[in-house]
Chain A
Amino acid sequence: DTGVSQDPRHKITKRGQNVTFRCDPISEHNRLYWYRQTLGQGPEFLTYFQNEAQLEKSRLLSDRFSAERPKGSFSTLEIQRTEQGDSAMYLCASSLGLRGTDEKLFFGSGTQLSVL
């Protein structure tokens, strides 16, 4: 499978616990994005990387959220001290990062987070 893969597919956690999600982008893609999607809404941008550099973070992203892409390949998204409002689908996407095509994002199937 050469698409974007995310792990785990589902995560149930108790309020206050930390969780970490992983994303493996398409191998030749140098841009990687994290989005969050709640029921009935479109995906909402969280952050993105160009290779290993985190170039932009949403103003909505609280300090409890941190993302890394240490070697410019896979990425992790960590949420500390989870709250019930963090319950959502967390989508990862990647793109080539070339002018004229870099908005064409390829999405993974997401990690569904439920905070009890």
Chain B
Amino acid sequence: EDKVVQSPLSLVVHEGDTVTLNCSYEVTNFRSLLWYKQEKKAPTFLFMLTSSGIEKKSGRLSSILDKKELFSILNITATQTGDSAVYLCAEGKETSGSRLTFGEGTQLTVNP
């Protein structure tokens, strides 16, 4: 069965800290790796990665994919309380018609 594993499952930091969230996936029919942020309800799209070694950045957030070691990381620098959310990693496969398989998520809490 498809498996996406995220770590840590929860993380508590202080404002200004830098955090790294991890996501490992399966290689079979891999097409893409996506990161979403979920605050209350709707997950919102952050990044989609398809190629190894190319960092994607958006403000204080960045992400990179390693297709050899089958993992991705999401970095958040200079964290703010508004970064508190669940961060979800998802894998898209060639054979799944764009169905995504999500990990459990990492609950990030940023304290003032």
Contact = CB atoms under 8 A, between A and B. Distances in A.
A95 B96 CA distance: 14
A107 interface: yes
Interface in A89-114: 89, 91, 95, 97, 102-110
Contact of B45 (A31, A33, A106): A106
Interface residues of B, number: 25
Chain B interface SS verdict (over half)? strand
Contacts of B34: 103-104
Contacts of A89: 41
Interface in B35-75: 36, 40-45, 48
Given A42-B90, A107-B42, A48 B104 contact: no
A108 B42 contact: yes
B47 to A, nearest CB: 10
A42 B3 CA distance: 12
Nearest to B41: A109
Contact of B98 (A41, A103, A106, A110): A103
